[in-house]
Structure 1
Amino acid sequence: SSSSSSSSSSMGGGPSSSICHAPQTCPLGPNEGVGSQPGEDDGNRVHRPRADLVLRGPGEAHPTFTAEELAVSCKPNAPTSGTLGCPHYARGCKIRAPCCRKMYVCRLCHDSDVDRTCSAKLDTYSVTEMLCMHCQTLQPVGKHCQVCYSDLGLAAQPQSQHTTQDTVRPNRHTANDRTHAVLGKYYCNVCKLWDNSLDREIYHCPYCNVCRVGKGLGVDYRHCMRCNCCVEMREGVTHRCISQVLEGNCPICADTLRFSTADLKGLPCGHTMHLECYRQYRAYSYTCPICLKTMDDMRDYFSRLDQAAAHSPVPNMFRNTRSRIYCNDCGDTSVVQYHMLYHKCPKSACGSYNTRVLDTMVLPPGEEAEDGTSNGSGSGG
């Protein structure tokens, strides 16, 4: 929206009901030759990854996974056929969830899996293990696969504190080999985020401590320290501060805002909700669900209400009746002529119909109301 603030959404794509660690049709072959043994829980066979580079404590067994967890997963509807990933990301690895110890392509795949054994959402900050889908090697998280990178004759580069967008330097190997070594063109070592998407740019905000869609702070976004959120720097976008506005939940769907992957809508009053929630809610209401202030420019609509009120005169039996109203937009309390349908704020600078009736009163003949109107006339409509 051009007239109100717009907050950047955190990375992850929209919610999906699909379980993205399930095997999908992909030109890259399945994990052939991996060790397997009978499963104990459901009769399915469980497998070991081809290699396990994670240092484990004494007596700690090497983990095993189902064929679905180790299967190669491709991003549906990707511009290039066979692009590894899931509906949310294009990436060359899977992560091992610290909570349930299962393999998923991303946190959203984990959170949307109705059959998972844990109830908590995946905490990406605590992820320590990943599985390269090119070579089926379980290893500590990083931008590059240690095995694929080593096969190129290159030493794995040390990970920076936050994000990297470098590429493997050219050598005698093919471009496809070099692509396999880099699991994500964008990688954030804080959020454990890999992404090879070509249709979006990503940056890490050190203040929000999450990765967001955009070119970066000072380029197309700035961070509001009072609201603790990233705000667009686009011309025409205004921003009204509300302290820690993204720390709560969307007032429509009750989902968290801080780590939301959906686009957000900043209202003129300063409150925020999901853009899609706003569109659905706006179809039947024009007031903020939190503070009840008008969300959009309603002057044309209020003008039509003026005409409707003019054609709906107050019956004679209510001529001496007044309404005490509160205006949700300007915050003033006024006494106006009672009307069955419409009560307009009499303040000239406001004129809003976004009001509520506090109480009604009947004036004795000749008595004036608090606003100076007599029983023979009224203000507003």
Structure 2
Amino acid sequence: MGEEALVMQTKDRDFARSEHGCEHYRRRCKIRAPCCDRVFTCRHCHNEFTNSLSNPKDHHEMVRHDVKQVICSVCNTEQEAAQVCWKCGIHMGEYFCGICKFYDDDTEKKQFHCEECGICRVGGRENFFHCPKCGSCYMMSLRDNHVCVENSMKSHCPVCYEYLFDSIEGTTILNCGHTIHMDCFQQMADQNQYRCPICSKTAREMSGVWRMLDAEIAATVMPEEYQYEVKISACSPCPNLANPGLTYLDFCSLIRHWPRSASSAVRGTILLRRLHQLLR
């Protein structure tokens, strides 16, 4: 087939849309990695491959902004990164960012490039704002409604250790301001773990749980030998020292919270406390 016939056949730039790509993105091109000169469908495919190599010295990640060459998946022509293939005329990605060299045929994601982040985000520009202190884009519902931790997104998830800033997985902000993958936090919640893995402060609104524990403590019968014993423990969410009588849990009277040592107390020796009612 001649070049002119090919151009005529594929003059519709939507030709083969969403028919090519990988598990991460639908796109009609592949990229040549500038770091190792290998060809992959996307940077995630590159990173997964190189980080699985047997020699740790070969492990590396591709810098998206450094991509210069792409290969059209329709006509197999290698060329400089651009949205339209110069040979067959198709859109190699319905969404294209010339800064990130990012291609995606699925525009329902509402991709946009954030100048402050320096990378592309999904979800629609109108639905996000950039927090300069946290160093990332957050949903509008969090504007003036979250605890800022400097560069909190430019860190690794405390559960799976994946770098959060450019992760394709959803993230959430805990009450303390630290960030974590939504799926990782759900795994913690499924195991009744509600403390931030970094600072041990309560990660979510827990008043309902505290009420339940209040009822359990109120119903606890105190053995006579423990009636007047006191256990002092530090409270993670505040500088207060919990100084109640013994019970099954270490209770902070200042903010009505169970400090970090509570879990170890439950797992270890049974600590009972009778003066909980005096703290109300």
- The interval holding the TM-score normalised by the smaller chain is 0.7 to 0.9
Within 5 Å, which residues of 2 pair with 1:56-135?
Answer: 83-113=19-49, 114=52, 118-135=58-75
Name the amino acid aligned to 2:132: M
Deviation at 1:115, TM superposition (A): 5.5
Q: Quote the Cα distance in structure 1 between the aligned partners of 2:117 and 2:142.
A: 23
Deviation at 1:124, TM superposition (A): 1.3
Q: Could you tell me which residue of structure 1 aligns to residue 151 of structure 2?
A: 244
Deviation at 1:116, TM superposition (A): 9.2
Q: Could you tell me which residue of structure 1 aligns to residue 257 of structure 2?
A: 352
Q: Quote the Cα distance in structure 2 between the aligned partners of 1:189 and 1:215.
A: 18
Asked if 1:140 is matched to 2:140, the reply is no
4+ runs deviating over 3 angstroms: 114-118, 234-237, 376-381
* Aligned partners of 1:100 and 1:116 also within 8 Å: no
Asked if 1:203 is matched to 2:112, the reply is yes
TM superposition score normalised by structure 1 = 0.61
Measured against aligned partners, the alpha-carbon deviations of 1:28-58 in whole angstroms (never above 9, x if no partner) come to: xxxx9xxxxxxxxxxxxxxxxxxxxxxxxxx
Asked if 1:260 is matched to 2:167, the reply is yes
Q: Quote the Cα distance in structure 1 between the aligned partners of 2:238 and 2:40.
A: 50
Within the candidate set 325, 329, 346, 2:233 is matched to: 325
Deviation at 1:334, TM superposition (A): 3.2
Deviation at 1:147, TM superposition (A): 1.6
* Aligned partners of 1:250 and 1:274 also within 8 Å: yes
Q: Quote the Cα distance in structure 2 between the aligned partners of 1:319 and 1:129.
A: 75
Q: Identity rate of aligned residues, in percent? A: 29
Within the candidate set 285, 291, 316, 2:199 is matched to: 291
Please identify which structure carries the higher helix content. 2
Q: Structure 1 residues 116 and 343, CA, compared in 2 at 3 Å: closer, same or farther?
A: closer
Within the candidate set 94, 106, 115, 1:185 is matched to: 94
Q: Structure 1 residues 243 and 81, CA, compared in 2 at 3 Å: closer, same or farther?
A: closer
Secondary structure (helix, strand or coil) at the match of 1:94 reads strand
Q: Quote the Cα distance in structure 2 between the aligned partners of 1:257 and 1:85.
A: 24
Q: Structure 1 residues 377 and 300, CA, compared in 2 at 3 Å: closer, same or farther?
A: closer
Q: Could you tell me which residue of structure 2 aligns to residue 335 of structure 1?
A: 243
Q: Structure 1 residues 268 and 261, CA, compared in 2 at 3 Å: closer, same or farther?
A: same
Q: Could you tell me which residue of structure 1 aligns to residue 139 of structure 2?
A: 232
**How many residue pairs get matched?**
250
Structure number with bigger Rg:
1
Q: Quote the Cα distance in structure 2 between the aligned partners of 1:309 and 1:302.
A: 10
Bigger RCO (CA 8 Å, 6+ sep): 1
Q: Quote the Cα distance in structure 2 between the aligned partners of 1:321 and 1:250.
A: 40
Secondary structure (helix, strand or coil) at the match of 2:214 reads helix
Q: Quote the Cα distance in structure 2 between the aligned partners of 1:325 and 1:106.
A: 51
Asked if 1:307 is matched to 2:243, the reply is no
Secondary structure (helix, strand or coil) at the match of 2:244 reads strand
Deviation at 1:139, TM superposition (A): 1.1
Q: Quote the Cα distance in structure 2 between the aligned partners of 1:283 and 1:120.
A: 34
Deviation at 1:238, TM superposition (A): 2.5
Q: Quote the Cα distance in structure 2 between the aligned partners of 1:266 and 1:338.
A: 34
* Aligned partners of 1:294 and 1:354 also within 8 Å: no
Q: Structure 1 residues 304 and 321, CA, compared in 2 at 3 Å: closer, same or farther?
A: same
Measured against aligned partners, the alpha-carbon deviations of 1:192-244 in whole angstroms (never above 9, x if no partner) come to: 1011114311011111111000221xx11110111111011138993211111
Deviation at 1:120, TM superposition (A): 0.4
TM superposition score normalised by structure 2 = 0.81
Q: Quote the Cα distance in structure 2 between the aligned partners of 1:193 and 1:105.
A: 11
Please identify which structure carries the higher strand content. 1
Secondary structure (helix, strand or coil) at the match of 1:231 reads strand
Q: Quote the Cα distance in structure 2 between the aligned partners of 1:377 and 1:139.
A: 75
* Aligned partners of 2:17 and 2:28 also within 8 Å: no
Deviation at 1:355, TM superposition (A): 4.6
